[in-house]
Structure 1
Amino acid sequence: MKTQKKTVLLAIVCMAFFSFTMQSCKEKSKQPEVVAKADSFIEADNIIKSIKVLEFPDNTFNITDYGAVADGKTLNTEAIAKAIDACHEAGGGKVIIPAGDFLTGPIVLKSHVNLHLEEGAQVLFSTNHKDYLPIVHTSYEGVELMNYSPLIRAYKQNNIAVTGKGVLNGQGSNENWWPWCGKDKYGYVEGAVKQHDSINLPRLRQMNEAQIPVADRTFGDGYQLRPTFFEPMDCENVLLEGVTITNAPFWVIHPLRCNYVRIDGVTVSSHGPNNDGCDPEYSKNVHIANCTFDTGDDCIAIKAGRNEDGRAVNIASENIVVENCYMKDGHGGVVLGSEISAGVRNVFVRNCKMDSPNLDRAIRIKTNTLRGGFVENLFVKDVQVGQVKEAALRINLHYGIYANQEGNHIPSIKNVHLENMTVENSGKYGILINGREEAKIENVTFTNVHIKGAKTPMKVEHSEPIVFENTTINGKSY
């Protein structure tokens, strides 16, 4: 009898313990999932190692030997093309642009060619728009089309580079390219044709939604869609190193569907409309290091196609490392979106400095239910922010400066981690997050983050609770 009572008592104790353990597990499961951060930048190092150091044969081809004239007036498009062709046909090497001012139309890179600008060299890109014809397969704000050639273009090439200490001057200005944006401050005259007129962007948007074949999306002469500056497309092993880029017509550095890209020691000083500094799109294994961005739009904006084009291409931008960069003027320091329909994952930002009264945000994610897409695994570490206007971190799932930005493609944002970050003057907000009721932001963490000067410390809507560790905003611990 005593034995039976002991057995019953033991069973009750075991059931109580089991019940307590299950309840404890349930409570723990409600806590936001925290992706391991301690070793996250080991993966960043692995990405960097995967991008090989490019090598070129020891052949040199000076453009002056092919007829180029450094007077800033003679059009050298043909001479530069001849030098590149000769280098390519010889198995590769270095095409030299020596000191001097060389006027040219678009430059087309070929495999195993390193276009090298010596110190004192300046490439001036023609202001005659007809020099950028015939139209070629390119992209405009995340939508592919046939348009004016990018200023420097490569298509389906391997092992290509632009290097040196020279200047690439797009000669965009209030008299050339920029007025097409339709804004007075960029030289637009009321009544002139602009990019938002029905023949231009609205027409391209309709073609995107209807998925008209790219070959039939013809623009160029007679239309007002500006070309990108440096656009390798469907290329592998790409290097852009050392040069200064200024006065771009539109987006500055735009690797499109590329793999293994290194952008190192480049200075972008370009304050025109939509002058994003660097926009990797549908691209993988990208290393952006030791660069300075002083821009008229986002300093770095990681893209992945717009709406139906993005969903049709369906290539996420991933494995992107940004380090040792300085972001000055711009709409955002490191931005993901808004053309993000194919998604972005595995982005690492470290050892960067961001500081300007004309820099709106430090870290930004932007999309809506027309763009959809996803962001997962954004790691930010060891970043110093001086002054920004709006927020240290801005996540917005209601992005849209134009009307009709609502659709049926619910975005997903998760695993956003900021660590060892200081902000001296955060402007309007410390943290500004606008999720959606049907798409809550998931797993945002702040570790050793200290934000000062925020008029409003936090405004967070439709997000899982942010996990704070040793973090202060305006001196208050969170």
Structure 2
Amino acid sequence: MLNFKRNRFRSCVLGLLNCFLLVFISCKNNEQKNESSELAKKTVWSEADAIIEKIGIIEFPDATFNIADYGAIADGVSLNNKAFSDAIAACSEAGGGKVVVPAGKYLTGPIQLKSNINLHLKAGSEILFTTDKSAYLPAVHTSYEGMEIMNYSPLIYAKGQKNIAVTGKGILNGQADKANWWPWCGADKYGHQEGAPQQKDEHNLPTLFKMIEDGTPVEQRVFGEGHQLRPLFLQTLECERVLIEGVTFTNAPFWVIHPLKSSYVKVDGVTVNSHGPNNDGCDPEYSKYVHITNCNFNTGDDCIAIKSGRNGDGRRVNIPSENIVVENCDMKDGHGGVVMGSEISAGVRNVFVRNCTMNSPHLDRAIRIKTNTLRGGFVENVYVKDIEVGQVKEAVLKINTYYGIYGVQEGEFIPSISNINLENITVENGGKYGLLIRGREEKPVTGISLKNVTIKNAETPLLVENCEPINYINTKINEVNYNE
């Protein structure tokens, strides 16, 4: 009997010790898990800081070349092509510096930047780009909707240059409107008249699509005169160390700021106020180490759209856009706040978005990913945090792998979308959907995480197809908790 009591006592003690041990291990595991989670979070956002640090500061020689000294006339009527080109040439020959545009209105054709030159617009200055289309010829190596071509020169253009900038407090006015450039998009609301030439005509986009399918070299894809493909506003092609700072863009023919195959790019304190067709604010494409900060976007298309080529041309170039930080920006009108696609065939990775506001009855989505099986491509490692959304029309987060504006676009290139993270997001009016996700059955969307997200007043909280279970942490849509 005594042995029985001793054994029972020993069992109880051992049981209690095991319980204490299990509780200790569990607490320790949770502690380690929390520490790992915090460490992972710090590591993720320290990556964004490291990208910004790597871009660094772009500096220029301390020399000034005023376009007025080269014959520029600030009457808004006289053509100043020669004054701009002479001032830029003199600055370049001197080893670089600042080409200054003083207060006044200056009409000009396209401006070509060279290495080590900062085109600086003083307060009160406005550059008006001529509506004479012949001024943008001969055709240069540029692009259209993610396809490389020879076409009308961008209004501001640089190819293969290093250390270039457009800065200051002045205005860049593309003078595109319903009487100039915009009608070529083919839409009545932008001035197109029935029967007039437009971009969808056989000799324009269909011909370009066929050239790409046939593997036609870029230098033989000649458009420009006799064609209706609009020029970009500012394009840097194959450039390194680019600064766009402080200036205002308005009345753009097409995409506004387009770093193409460029690296170490900073867009800081810029205002884009342009509501024409395809008037995206900033479109990094095939580009890496890009910092977009302190900007205001009020656009006719996506505010920021990260791209990497369209269909076969994107797969030919095969340069992903990566290591991109967007912060402290304000988005108003536009098809999307921060967007990836639709020209995305080479893929996008490592995108960081923080401390932005998005609010307009004419802002369709906050965060958007768009592709299809002709585009293919991938989107991975997207981190979004500390975003205030007042109002969107369609969705807070939209992922669409069936995107198409030229009819059905089905092919053999199944897109891959993974590791998309939203944290600390507040939305007052969520539009038609809180989340709208349409993946593919062959390859569902994976790794969607929402933490500390509150979406109010969404007509339909969720429409999710072909997506692995979403990780909800402290997330509420229309006062309903969606949590683990």
TM-score range, shorter chain: over 0.9
Q: AA paired with 1:179?
A: P
Residue 266 of structure 1 aligns to which amino acid in structure 2?
V
What is the CA–CA distance in structure 2 between the aligned matches of 1:183 and 1:35, rounded to whole Å? Answer: 51
| Counterpart Cα distance in 1 of 2:193 and 2:407 | 24
Q: Distance in 2 between matches of 1:328 and 1:403?
A: 28
* Structure 2 equivalent of residue 280 of structure 1: 284
C-alpha distance in 2 between matches for 1:199 and 1:452 = 48
Q: Is this contact kept in 2: 1:432–1:459, CA < 8 A?
A: yes
Residue 97 (structure 1) aligns with: 101
Separation in structure 2 between the aligned mates of residue 281 and residue 373 of structure 1, nearest angstrom = 13
Structure 1 residue aligned with 2:77: 73
Deviation string, structure 1 residues 267-312 (Cα, Å, up to 9, x no partner) = 0000000000000000000000000000000000000000111001
The answer on 1:340 being equivalent to 2:358 is no
- 1:331 is paired with a residue of what secondary structure? coil
Counterpart of 1:435 (choices 435, 439, 446) is: 439
Report what 1:14 is aligned to: none
2-structure distance, mates of 1:369, 1:36:
33
1:217 to 221, 226, 229: 221
Answer yes or no: is 1:131 the counterpart of 2:141. Answer: no
Shift of 1:37: 3.5
Give secondary structure in 2 for the equivalent of 1:287. strand
Partner of 1:253: 257
Q: Normalization by structure 1: what TM-score?
A: 0.92
Counterpart contact for 1:340–1:371, Cα < 8 Å: yes
What is the CA–CA distance in structure 1 between the aligned matches of 2:42 and 2:444, rounded to whole Å?
A: 25
Shift of 1:439: 1.3
Q: Partners of 2:185 and 2:394 in 1: how far apart?
A: 24
- In the TM superposition, residue 432 of structure 1 has moved relative to its aligned partner by 0.4
Equivalent of residue 334 in structure 2, options 320, 330, 347: 330
On the 8 A contact 1:324/1:350 being kept in 2, the answer is yes
**Displacement after TM superposition at 1:34 (Å):** 13
The one-letter code matched in structure 2 to 1:61 is: F
- Match of residue 449 from structure 2: 445
Inter-partner Cα distance in structure 2 for 1:93 and 1:45: 29
Equivalent in the alignment of 1:304? 308
Superposed counterparts of 1:230-241, under 5 Å: 230-241=234-245
For 1:406, give the aligned amino acid.
E
Distance in 1 of aligned mates of 2:40 and 2:414: 26
Match of 1:198 among 188, 196, 202: 202
DSSP-derived class of the 1:330 partner: coil
Give the CA deviation at 1:209.
1.7
Tell me the amino acid that sits aligned with residue 395 of structure 2: A
Cα distance in 1 for partners of 2:354, 2:309 equals 25
Deviation, 1:36, is 4.0
Tell whether 2:87 aligns with 1:83.
yes
* Paired position in structure 2 for 1:58: 62
Q: Distance in 2 between matches of 1:329 and 1:383?
A: 16
Aligned to 1:374: 378
Consecutive aligned runs of 4 or more in structure 1 exceeding 2 Å deviation: 33-39
**Following the alignment from structure 2 to structure 1, what is the Cα–Cα distance between the partners of residues 211 and 415?**
23
Supply the AA of the counterpart residue of 1:85: A
Give 2:7's aligned residue.
none
Structure 2 gaps, min length 5: 1-36
For residue 38 of structure 1, report the CA deviation from its aligned partner.
4.3
Q: 1:226 aligns with which of 227, 230, 233?
A: 230
Q: TM-score, with normalisation over the residues of structure 2?
A: 0.91
How many residues are paired up? Answer: 446
For residues 457 and 237 of structure 2, what CA distance do their matches in structure 1 show?
42
1:407 aligns with 2:411: yes
Alignment-derived partner of residue 158 in structure 1: 162
Q: Which residue of 2 aligns with 1:25?
A: none
Output one character per residue of 1:401-431: Cα deviation in whole Å (capped at 9) or x when no partner: 2224000011100000000000110110000
CA contact (8 A) 1:270 1:294 kept: yes
Cα deviation 1:253-278 (Å, max 9, x = unaligned)? 00000010000000000000000000
State the alpha-carbon separation in 2 of the partners of residues 124 and 93 from structure 1: 23
Among 360, 365, 370, the residue aligned to 2:364:
360
- Distance in 2 between residues matched to 1:298 and 1:161, nearest whole Å: 23
Letter in 1 for 2:62: D
One of 126, 134, 137 as aligned partner of 1:122: 126
Q: Distance in 2 between matches of 1:35 and 1:140?
A: 42
Report SS of the residue matched to 2:364: strand
1:263 corresponds, among 261, 267, 282, to 267
Equivalent position amino acid for 1:413 in 2: I
Structure 1 vs Structure 2 CA RMSD: 1.2
Mapped partners of 1:52, 1:64: distance in 2: 32
| Amino acid paired to 2:370 | K
The one-letter amino acid paired with 1:165 is K
Give the percent of matched residue pairs that are identical in Structure 1 and Structure 2: 67
Corresponding position: 1:318 with 2:337: no
CA distance in 1, matches of 2:222, 2:100: 34
1:40 partner amino acid? V
Question: Which of residues 467, 473, 476 is equivalent to 2:471?
Answer: 467
- 1:34/1:415 contact within 8 Å kept: no
CA distance in 2, matches of 1:89, 1:323: 37
Kindly indicate whether the alpha-carbon contact (under 8 Å) linking 1:209 and 1:307 is maintained by their aligned counterparts in 2. no
Counterpart amino acid of 1:138?
A: T
Q: 5+ unaligned residues in a row in structure 1: which ranges?
A: 1-32
User: For 1:213 and 1:35, how far apart are their aligned partners in 2?
Assistant: 48
Q: Which whole-Å deviations, capped at 9, do the CAs of 1:80-137 have from their partners, x for residues lacking one?
A: 0110010011011000000000000000000000000000000000000000000000
Corresponding residue to 2:355 among 345, 351, 356? 351
Q: CA deviation at 1:58?
A: 0.9
Which residue does 1:140 correspond to in 2? 144
AA matched with 2:155: L
Question: Would the aligned equivalents of 1:34 and 1:443 in 2 still touch at CA under 8 Å?
Answer: no
Q: Which residue of 2 aligns with 1:21?
A: none
Separation in structure 2 between the aligned mates of residue 355 and residue 314 of structure 1, nearest angstrom: 35
Offset at 1:54? 1.0
- Shift in CA distance, 429/35, structure 1 to aligned 2, threshold 3 Å: farther
Q: Secondary structure at the match of 2:326?
A: strand
* Residue identity in the other structure for 2:173: N
Partner of residue 393, structure 1: 397
Higher RCO (CA-CA < 8 Å; seq separation 6+): 1
CA–CA distance in structure 2, aligned partners of residues 270 and 36 of structure 1: 39
Counterpart position of 1:294: 298
1:55: how far off? 1.0
